[in-house]
A and B are shown apart, each in its own frame.
Chain A
């Protein structure tokens, strides 16, 4: 009887505490099976992605380069139409940069989740001068390093039929919108104060979450990895021409399910 009870516990994945309880009890096998039964029913409630559960992700992101347009330094021509006379042309680019991201998700159903996130990066905005009316040579320079924040909300749809790795990997698609905030300048006394540009960001993308085995106890029910690839369109913020700018963002990090 004793050996059978141990075997059952191993199959059911019971804890050492349960094993000890079973072996010390006079009705060994029966006592051992009771906690095994509890473990079997508890496992779904610790599965990540279930309806009503939360997830938190911390990621490292890569922001691709993007153009922020061009602008002419225009004088007014001496003609009755007052046409523009460019003194020079400036074009701007946001260089690629690394950033960090934190996201919190709520799984409304097993297939859909809503999430909010904040993404922070420090891209260099460079500019190029060309077409100087008085013949000055053109050049490209690093304009400044700016602090860029995206505060956004997303709708996430899991592609249940595309799951793999025994269902632990869950691909998803996402789309959302949010607020763009850029801080220019330094906060040191030498260079004054921050100036702020704001706007909107819209994004769409896809990714995958891979969860390791659920933990048997604790607030965090499972850890996993998350990878994202998103396309962002920015409206507002610092641009040279007032138009939308676009950028690609990709990255990955650790996700914890609650």
Chain B
């Protein structure tokens, strides 16, 4: 089972997360969101489907509202077509409301925010802080950027459908994935070298349409939160601990690789004991790789309250054996030991 982040309980719980260009702004996420209710963490999710959403009745430069609506429908359909998950969404109509208003309706729309010079889009939630149920979600896309809905993408313009797919992943309760490699740019921020998750917090370059398709990591996350009937009995999980000098490591990025299928699914250690769990895995032998989070900022993945305890001072390590994930069950790793850099 995937772990959920421990977020501060608030009277009015409003979360937000962003997809950035070369830089990640504050976000609160692991692979799936969760909130603390008493002594337990409950997943942030919709309890009633389909998600009924509105689209603002205005586009952006070069994008009509109808094109925006159609791109949104394609992105929702992509999530809906994940065979191992059960989600759905329904377009209600156009609205004049802005996607930053707490008005009880889920709205996707453009806002012009040149001040957020690296933010392509952002998702915010209104939650029931006793159940984790999502009550409202708003997604804004930054009209200060150049956007495209061309089927093959357009050079110099960000692919709207790809970014909508990322943000609607958040809408369904997915957090950020760390399955990617980046490099620092001279002008600040980071550039993605490669990624294997739509939910990676930094977008591919303008003109790239690779993120119109969810990867195994995204599918595992969605399937964990909204499993289709029978999925849980046919999939398995791996769990264990990451330690350094005998002490648990918080915030280590743990990746499970199935060499037979090429599938990569990641998650984090979520407590000071270094506990991790990766679920929704196809049964079979896996190779486990552990690395410190070094792509994007820590606050792309962790709540502010735990960032001071996140350990990024260790070398990449592998578990010295296969971990066999059984169908409908879990495989418990003893320990993955890492050493300081």
Contacts and interface: CB of A to CB of B under 8 A. Distances in A.
A80 B322 contact: no
Given A72-B262, A76-B210, A80-B208, A144 B194 contact: no
B196 A75 contact: yes
Interface string A116-147: 00000000010101001111100101111000
A184 B321 contact: no
A133 B181 contact: yes
A74 B330 CA distance: 25
Given A80-B208, A144-B324, A73 B329 contact: no
Contacts of B195: 75-76, 78
A242 B285 CA distance: 14
B289 A88 contact: yes
A80 B152 CA distance: 9
A239 interface: yes
A74 B196 contact: yes
Contact of A191 (B192, B208, B264, B331): B331
Sorting the interface of chain A by its residue count into under 10, 10 to 19, 20 to 34 or 35 or more gives 35 or more
Interface string B191-220: 111111000000011011110000100000
A193 B326 contact: yes
A85 interface: yes
Interface stretch (B29-37, B79-87, B221-229, B310-318): B310-318
Contact of A78 (B208, B236, B332): B208
B322 A125 contact: yes
A192 B291 CA distance: 26
A190 interface: yes
Nearest to A70: B259
Contact of B260 (A88, A136, A238): A238
A62 interface: no
B196 A76 contact: yes
B193 A85 contact: yes
Interface in A93-137: 125, 127, 129, 132-136
Interface string B281-318: 00111010101000000000000000000000001111
B84 to A, nearest CB: 17
A127 B257 contact: no
8 contacts: A75-B181, A76-B210, A77-B193, A78-B195, A88-B289, A125-B322, A134-B316, A195-B327
Interface of A: 71-80, 82, 85, 87-88, 90, 92, 125, 127, 129, 132-136, 139, 141-144, 184-186, 190-195, 197, 238-240, 242
Listed from nearest, the 9 A-B pairs whose CB atoms lie closest are: A85-B194, A185-B324, A192-B326, A75-B194, A136-B316, A143-B322, A193-B326, A71-B259, A195-B283
